[in-house]
Every structure is written in structure tokens, then in C-alpha cells.
Amino acid sequence: MTEERKGFYFELLELLEQDPEKRFYADNGKDLLRNKVYECAMKMDKDLIKLLLSNDRMKDKFFTDIDGTLVFDKTAFGWAINNKAFLQDSYTRFKNTIGLIDSKE
């Protein structure tokens, strides 16, 4: 993973921490509630949208300007937060492997 990618995901995590209602982190303040973030994105939650628009990098990544109107790409955002590079301490950091057995051995 490139440094730019690490920086992007780190920046997104920091931005989600700034949610005024603290909806995106568990009570311990450390664990991101990924499903809550995803749910808010799919519902086009106005506070999440405002938060993303407040950051130029997120604005460029997740919004498209169509004749002066910014349109949120919730599919791209959903992909980003579900990407295994986003939360490397989750189960997705482990390699996916398939074990094959040769019955003749």
C-alpha cells in the first residue's frame, strides 16, 4: 500500500472522529463502528455528508460536480470503508487462503 493510501484512510478515520454526536465510535472511543458509518452513508445522513464535504480530499474522492451540484457517491464511499486497508486491525487483515488436499498422499 502506498503512503498516499495510508494517509487517505488515516485522514478519513480522523474526520469520522469529528462527528459532533460521536456516533461512529464505540464507547471506548477507539473502535470504529463501521456498520454505523455504512448505514449512515446509505441513508444519505446529512451530518455525515456535511462532515465529508468539510474535507477537500474527501470531497474530491466521494463527490461529483454535476452542473454545479455536488452528488455523493455512496457506492464509492461504501467500498472505501469496507476495504480491508481501511481497518487493518479487523479480521480482514488476515490472508484469505484455501487449503487443497491431494487424496493420493
Assigned domain for 46 exists: yes
- Whether residue 96 is contained in a domain is answered as no
Does the residue 42 lie in any domain?
Answer: yes
Structure confidence at residue 55 (pLDDT):
96
- Collect all residues with Cβ–Cβ distance below 8 Å to 95 and sequence separation of at least 6: none
Measure the CA angle with vertex 55, ends 61 and 16; round to 5°: 95
HSE-up of residue 101 (Cα within 13 Å, Cβ side): 2
Instruction: Please report whether residue 68 resides in a domain.
Output: yes
Residue 10 domain-assigned? yes
Per-residue pLDDT averaged across 98-105, rounded? 62
Q: How many degrees, rounded to 5, is the angle at CA 36 between CA 60 and CA 27?
A: 115
* The pLDDT of residue 93 is above 70: no
Distance, in Å, from the CA atom of 71 to the CA atom of 59, rounded to the nearest integer, reads: 10
Residue 59 lies in a domain: yes
For 31-46, how does the pLDDT look when each residue is reduced to its tens digit (9 = 90+)? 889 999 999 999 999 9
Question: Residue 57: inside a domain, yes or no?
Answer: yes
Domain count for the chain, please give it: 1
Q: Which residues form the domain of 51?
A: 3-89
Dist CA 11 CA 5 (whole Å): 10
